[in-house]
């Protein structure tokens, strides 16, 4: 099985688009909220987390990243924020929370593929 990617987005269509964009070479985990992402990350240790910022529930993507970064098993997990929040202040907030990179929706599937291949092969 390939590298493990956790896709976190409250919209099923976005999760499906990422899944089909990246193809069958990876093992995918999915979460619809920041809290669900935290629960999965605490037991699964993904190689990469693709995290939306705006999600309903207990906490948003920024808070999820902060909490996931505190998990011992996820200290070296690469976190890519993929969100419609495209202001520079949002990007800074994501990187300060602990994300390694920040993509703005709508995104280029080709750019996403190239970035992920560079990150985890």
Average pLDDT over residues 54-58: 90
Domain count, the chain: 1
- Whole-number average pLDDT of the chain: 94
pTM more than 0.85: yes
Coil, helix or strand for 67?
A: helix
The reported pLDDT for the residue numbered 23 is: 86
Torsion from C-alpha of 21, 115, 72, 2, nearest 10 degrees: 50
Task: Tell me whether residue 2 is exposed, middle or buried, using C-beta atoms within 10 angstroms of its C-beta: 0 to 12, 13 to 18, 19 or more.
Answer: middle
- DSSP 8-state class, residue 24: T
Confidence of residue 1 (pLDDT cuts 50, 70, 90): low
36 and 42 Cβ atoms separated by less than 8 Å: no
Q: How far is CA 68 from the centre of its chain?
A: 11
**Segments forming the whole domain that contains residue 61:** 4-120
Coil, helix or strand for 101?
A: strand
Domain with residue 60: its CATH number is 3.40.50.2300
């Amino acid at each position: 099985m390939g590298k493990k990617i956790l896709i976190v987005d409250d919209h099923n269509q976005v999760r499906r688009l990422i899944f089909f964009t990246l193809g069958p070479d990876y093992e995918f985990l999915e979460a619809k909220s920041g809290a669900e992402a935290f629960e999965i990350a605490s037991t699964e240790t993904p190689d990469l987390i693709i995290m939306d910022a705006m999600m309903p529930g207990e906490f948003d993507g920024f808070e999820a990243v902060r909490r996931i970064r505190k998990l011992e098993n996820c200290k070296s997990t690469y976190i890519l924020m993929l969100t419609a929040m495209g202001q520079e202040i949002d990007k800074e907030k994501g990187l300060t929370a602990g994300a390694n990179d920040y993509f703005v929706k709508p995104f280029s599937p080709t750019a996403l593929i190239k970035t992920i291949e560079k990150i985890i092969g």
